[in-house]
Amino acid sequence: MYPVMLSLTDQPCLVVGGGGVALRKVLGLLEEGARVTVVAPDPVERIIALAAEGRLTLERRAYRSPEAGDYRLVLAATDARETNRLVADDARAAGVWVNVADDPELCDFHLPARVRRGDLQLTVASAGRAPFAVRLIRRLLERRFGEEWIEWTEAAAGFRRRVRALGLDAAEERRCFEAWFEATVDPERLTARVPRAEEESACLIRRGRVPSSTGARECATAPRDVDASLRGEGTGWVSLVGAGTGAPDLLTLRGYRRLHEADAIVYDRLAAGALPADLPSRVELHPVGKTAGRHPVPQQEITALLVRLASAGARVVRLKGGDPYVFGRGAEEAEELARRGIPFEVVPGVTAGIAGPAWAGIPVTCRSEAVRVTLVTAHECAKSGGPQVRWDLLAQDPHATIVGYMGVTALPGVVRQLLDAGMAPDTPAAMVERATTAAQRVAAAPLVRLPDEARRVGIRPPAVFVIGPGVTHRKRLDWQARAVLAGQRLLLPPSLTRAEGDLTRAGAEVLVVPLPMTPAARIALAAAPVTGCVFATADDVDLVEDERANPGLAQAATAWCLGAGTARRARMRGWDRVIELAGTNLAEEIGDACMAARQPA
């Protein structure tokens, strides 16, 4: 069997038969621009509709021998073998290529199964001998090759044009292509990304250098100005985006869009959980995480990185936890960008000081109780030299809420200062750790006892404290703590996205993760351990198994499985706790099982 790709634009093609199989062939031919005639006495609705739209010619009658000879290509798909044979004989006698559905003996050619990613097509065939194997391999490829290959193929074509224009010799050209391929394709995971202009020019310049007897010489046909124009200098921008407080869906819609438009994302540790799992893998990801007391990448270097990326023409998102301008050093970064004339914008985010209390049942303002909110960094308290927080003034206002960021270590000192300045010791107060995530914990006590209570609960950063009358509402409004799935961080495959709303409403933190995983999905998953994975199929189980080393899967989690086959695979793969679900209402079924597990035996 000799594989060919036919160009069928405006070529007369005949399909004999009008059932579902014929329809599939008709659609394939139309997609390629063929002029299609269908001969069938009783075709399916869709074929009639296509004819009515003028997209094909429909002859509602039996096949008339030897009309097959009048076409370039003939496909027979009737359910009568004699008719199919007649069509095939007529075609062959006239020198026309013919295919008969499900009848390899009568075929001149077979139609391979294909996976299409724009102009990139992967085809699979077995000479008509094992169609089931072809179908399953196609499915495998369909899953393995993501949508990013569409853009990648376009970019490859563009790169080829550019290389061609340089007039290199064949060996130099090949080196350019190989360098480009190496830079853009992950051969293990079969993912691809479009390179930035500067990376692309690096492939040209580096590989354009050819060894000569006198040592390396610059390739004369890749001059410097080509390099500069390819880099697209000066066209970059930076978007300072607030990632929200940790729950993936607390990212704003605009933030989500900017992330999808980006070439590069520079993100903090607290923002990692909000990286959209469906981010194309071409996007460069730069972690610059800060943990309390440790600054792995100094602020100057972060700013320098933003400047470097944007100056090279990249669309950059600086993703910061919460809101970029609330204790996030966003102002410093924006000032530097402004100073250098780099275009930037700010996409505000849900900030911990508002969302944290809300998730703990505490409104930060409330008519006639709290008419002012102060967002304050408690960290300054522990430092000397800078401006000091006037805790003494804040202590004077009983109709206000104080929300303190970065205050786990500083809490005892802050409380002492407030009490010394005359604040009532029984002022309601609370501390919320990892608010809005499945790991949220709350310590609540009158002000004077809050440091002890926080210590007893074991509150650790990141946490905010809240002091003020609003805290009393907690008794009635702590909706999250009462939610059936509070504390659950669940991994959900995209095929079950429909359950996301129900699951989050029931209190779970839900991570919808493409399988196989994207690099962004791996990072988001690693932000905290999941308590469970929902599997729709045995394939899902296998694909998650590939990610076993991810810290997000470090805890002994529950495998929630749709159907017995999926559950069997999970057990086989060593999941200890496997629960089979009927799948009618996932949130309810998982909720019931969690409730049952909480009941004392």
Active-site residue list: 268, 290
Helix (H, G, I), strand (E, B) or coil at 270: helix
Partners of residue 97 on adjacent β-strands: 73
* Segments in 286-430 forming alpha helices (H): 299-311, 330-339, 352-359, 379-382, 391-394, 411-420
Q: Phi and psi (nearest 5°) for 460? A: -130, 165
Partners of residue 405 on adjacent β-strands: 377
Ranges within 251-270 binding ligand SAH (CB under 6 A): 270
- Rounded to the nearest 10°, the torsion over CA 10, 15, 19, 20 is -50
- Distance of closest approach, residue 248 Cβ to ligand SAH, in angstroms: 12
The interface region with ligand SAH, picked from 131-139, 142-150, 459-467, 512-520 by CB under 6 A, is 459-467
- Distance of closest approach, residue 435 Cβ to ligand SAH, in angstroms: 3
- 382: tokens are 């522990």
98 contact partners, CB below 8 Å, separation of at least 6: 68, 73, 74, 75, 76, 87, 88, 91, 92, 106, 107, 108, 109
- Taking phi over 0 as left and psi of -120 to 50 as alpha, with beta for the rest, 487 belongs to left
- Distance of closest approach, residue 148 Cβ to ligand SAH, in angstroms: 31
- Rounded to the nearest 10°, the torsion over CA 593, 595, 598, 599 is -100
CB closer to ligand SAH out of 291 and 396:
291
Whole-number Å distance between alpha carbons of 528 and 304: 29
Angle at 204 between CA 201 and CA 210, to 5 degrees: 145
- Distance of closest approach, residue 519 Cβ to ligand SAH, in angstroms: 23
CB closer to ligand SAH out of 50 and 435:
435
CB closer to ligand SAH out of 302 and 499:
302
In terms of DSSP bridges, do strands 463-467 and 428-433 run parallel, antiparallel, or are they unpaired?
antiparallel
519 binds ligand SAH (CB under 6 A): no
- Distance of closest approach, residue 554 Cβ to ligand SAH, in angstroms: 20
Per-position b or e across 184-206, b if 16+ CB within 10 A of its CB = bbeeeeebbbbbbbbbbbbbbbe
**Is the separation of the CB atoms in 374 and 397 below 8 Å?**
no
Residue selected from 285, 317, 326, 559 as contacting ligand SAH according to rule CB under 6 A? 326
463 binds ligand SAH (CB under 6 A): yes
352 binds ligand SAH (CB under 6 A): yes
CB closer to ligand SAH out of 180 and 465:
465
598 contact partners, CB below 8 Å, separation of at least 6: none
351 binds ligand SAH (CB under 6 A): yes
CB closer to ligand SAH out of 231 and 434:
434
- Rounded to the nearest 10°, the torsion over CA 271, 276, 279, 284 is 0
CB closer to ligand SAH out of 351 and 427:
351
CB closer to ligand SAH out of 249 and 539:
249
Binding mask 353-372 for ligand SAH (x = CB under 6 A): ---x----------------
For ligand SAH, the nearest residue by Cβ is 322
Residue with tokens 């967002």: 375
CB closer to ligand SAH out of 250 and 485:
250
The interface region with ligand SAH, picked from 96-104, 113-121, 307-315, 321-329 by CB under 6 A, is 321-329
- 265: tokens are 């994302």
471 binds ligand SAH (CB under 6 A): no
Residue selected from 43, 313, 321, 591 as contacting ligand SAH according to rule CB under 6 A? 321
- Distance of closest approach, residue 318 Cβ to ligand SAH, in angstroms: 12
The interface region with ligand SAH, picked from 196-204, 293-301, 433-441, 589-597 by CB under 6 A, is 433-441
Number of residues interacting with ligand SAH: please give it, by CB under 6 A. Answer: 23
Ranges within 230-249 binding ligand SAH (CB under 6 A): 245-246
CB closer to ligand SAH out of 201 and 351:
351
281 binds ligand SAH (CB under 6 A): no
How many Cβ atoms sit within 10 Å of the Cβ of residue 397?
15
Whole-number Å distance between alpha carbons of 53 and 49: 6
Whole-number Å distance between alpha carbons of 447 and 451: 8
Partners of residue 117 on adjacent β-strands: 120
The interface region with ligand SAH, picked from 3-11, 79-87, 428-436, 584-592 by CB under 6 A, is 428-436
- Give strand ranges (E) for 459-521: 463-467, 489-492, 509-512
The interface region with ligand SAH, picked from 173-181, 259-267, 324-332, 414-422 by CB under 6 A, is 324-332
Ranges within 291-320 binding ligand SAH (CB under 6 A): 320
Contacts with ligand SAH by CB under 6 A lie at: 245-246, 270, 320-323, 326-328, 351-352, 356, 405-406, 432, 434-436, 461-464
